[in-house]
């Protein structure tokens, strides 16, 4: 099966700083993938490389097997992109639709109109006079009317209030249900992840820390609590993501490689949020076999 | 957008803090409805579209839940039509329920006699249930 988005050691450098380094990824088609990571981790850079807005310094990126820089027309016809700063023009919604019709060969005007009327966006209103939620819906409707096979969204719901965010996500998930399109979105909102994404990419400091199927990822990570120890023996078989110690107790977040047999550990399940936060707190960890020791003072329960 | 098209048999909800994967939550809600007789043989489960537009969740999650229910032989999907209940889940009969209840009441008296309060009892039962179901799996 050909990947919707594939990166091979993809890297981008601005001056001396790496915005993305050795990023290797394979997002299968039909997935809803989330890019998670702190500001400056490389999320926007990765999305911009995927649409060909910028050229990689090294490595390769492909969308359904095509290069966004070498075969831009093939890629752009298949990709919808919602930038973080939704560009707004002093056009009415109707005029934006006319523009989309002219610029896109596969344009589905009926789909855009159906979506906009379902969320109650007035077509004669100028887009800069709409509410934030309505602007997001217009941007989504325009992106979907292109009939993309891959939709990339950069922080799509960051500036929206909870209701508008929920309505935006409903619209997005309906589109996935109808067309089976692949979605890759960057997000800060951990609460959305569990509902919405089935594939997760954790980026930190320009590197990919972890990427994979969400359910598998959650099932594979465990919280281990036991009497104080350095966690070294467990680290030989499993990957310690985070280790927290008190005088008496050690708590580990572990990416397991099979069953945990040592009876001195109490093993418990974790939430997706625990996994994400565990990796974000330990930016140097790429699921390495060595334990990462965090001092007590850094422990934020 | 048009939820009213198919009359809905049940409405799903999600408990984000429960720690249970969303698809398992959906599976359990169907099993629960089957046990309580809220879903009967031949009933149609909500369509993927309905669930997605109601909960704003990933359609793959709904499909995964329905596949799991299909694997358990509880539902069957008919292409282009939807997913339908094949058989209901039998809960305990009223007589069984009464007998179980009587035994549990007796046990609860003993537990209280041993100085356990409600919280301690709940924690105790949760632990027993967990290790019991672990034995079942193993």
ipTM: 0.71
Q: Where are the alpha helices (DSSP H) in chain A?
A: 43-51, 72-78, 93-103, 109-118, 132-145, 162-179, 190-196, 214-220, 232-237, 272-281
Instruction: For B40-52, write each residue's pLDDT tens digit.
Output: 899 999 999 899 9
In angstroms, the CA A287 to CA A284 distance is 9
SS3 A198: coil
Residue identified by tokens 């100028």 is: A126
pLDDT of res. A292: 38
In angstroms, the CA B71 to CA B64 distance is 10
Q: Could you list the mean pLDDT of each consecutive 10-residue stretch along chain A, which spans 301 residues?
A: 93 94 93 92 94 95 95 92 79 92 91 92 91 90 94 88 89 89 89 87 91 92 90 86 90 91 88 90 62 38 38
pLDDT of res. B1: 44
| DSSP secondary structure letter of residue B91 | -
The answer to whether B16 contacts A170, with C-beta atoms less than 8 Å apart, is: no
Between CA A129 and CA A134, with CA A130 as vertex, the angle to 5 degrees is: 165
pLDDT of res. A87: 67
Which residues in chain B have their CB less than 8 angstroms from residue A197's CB?
Answer: 58
Confidence of residue B130 (pLDDT cuts 50, 70, 90): confident
In angstroms, the CA B62 to CA B52 distance is 8
Instruction: Select from B16, B56, B138 the residue whose CB has the most chain A CBs within 10 Å, as the one to mutate to test that interface.
Output: B56
Which residues in chain B have their CB less than 8 angstroms from residue A170's CB?
Answer: 52-53, 56
pLDDT of res. B136: 65
- The total of other beta-carbon atoms located within 10 Å of residue A207's CB is 18
Mean pLDDT of chain B: 86
Q: What CATH superfamily classification does A5-205 receive?
A: P-loop containing nucleotide triphosphate hydrolases (3.40.50.300)
pLDDT of res. A294: 39
The answer to whether B58 contacts A197, with C-beta atoms less than 8 Å apart, is: yes
* Domains of chain B in sequence order: 3-85 (1.10.10.10), 94-137 (no CATH)
Residue closest to A253 by CA, chosen among A224, A290, A281, A283: A224
């Amino acid at each position: 099966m050909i990947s919707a988005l594939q990166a091979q050691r993809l890297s981008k450098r601005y001056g001396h700083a790496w915005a993305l380094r050795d990023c290797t990824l394979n997002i299968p088609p039909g997935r809803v993938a989330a890019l998670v990571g702190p500001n400056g981790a490389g999320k926007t850079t990765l999305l911009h490389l995927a649409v060909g807005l910028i050229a990689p310094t090294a490595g390769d990126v492909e969308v359904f097997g095509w290069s966004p820089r070498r075969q831009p027309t093939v890629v752009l016809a298949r990709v919808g992109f919602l930038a973080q700063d939704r560009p707004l023009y002093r056009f009415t919604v109707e005029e934006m639709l006319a523009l989309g019709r002219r610029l896109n060969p596969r344009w589905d005007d009926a789909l855009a109109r159906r979506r906009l009327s379902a969320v109650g966006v007035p077509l004669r209103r100028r887009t800069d006079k709409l509410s934030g939620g309505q602007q997001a819906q217009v941007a989504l409707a325009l992106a979907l009317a292109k009939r993309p096979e891959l939709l990339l969204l950069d922080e799509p719901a960051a500036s929206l209030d909870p209701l508008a965010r929920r309505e935006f996500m409903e619209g997005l998930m309906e589109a996935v249900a109808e067309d089976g399109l692949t979605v890759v979105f960057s997000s800060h909102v951990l609460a959305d992840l569990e509902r919405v994404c089935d594939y997760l990419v954790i980026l930190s400091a320009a590197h990919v820390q972890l990427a994979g199927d969400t359910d598998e990822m959650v099932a594979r990570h465990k919280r281990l609590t036991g009497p104080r120890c350095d966690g070294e023996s467990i680290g030989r078989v499993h990957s310690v993501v985070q280790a927290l110690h008190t005088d008496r107790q050690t708590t580990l977040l572990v990416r397991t490689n099979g069953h945990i047999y040592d009876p001195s550990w109490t093993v418990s399940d974790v939430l997706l949020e625990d996994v994400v936060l565990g990796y974000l707190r330990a930016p140097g960890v790429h699921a390495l076999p060595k334990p990462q020791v965090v001092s007590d003072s850094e422990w934020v329960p | 957008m048009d939820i009213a098209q198919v009359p809905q048999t049940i409405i799903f909800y999600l408990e984000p803090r429960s720690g249970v994967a969303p698809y398992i939550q959906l599976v359990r809600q169907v099993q629960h409805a089957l046990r309580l007789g809220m879903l009967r043989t031949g009933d149609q489960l909500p369509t993927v579209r309905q669930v997605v537009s109601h909960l704003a969740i990933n359609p793959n999650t709904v499909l995964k839940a329905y596949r799991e229910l299909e694997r358990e032989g509880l539902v069957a999907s008919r292409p282009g039509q939807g997913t339908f209940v094949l058989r209901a889940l039998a809960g305990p009969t009223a007589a069984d329920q009464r007998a179980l209840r009587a035994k549990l009441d007796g046990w609860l008296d003993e537990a209280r006699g041993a100085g356990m309060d409600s919280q301690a009892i709940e924690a105790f039962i949760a632990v027993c249930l967990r290790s019991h179901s672990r034995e079942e799996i193993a």
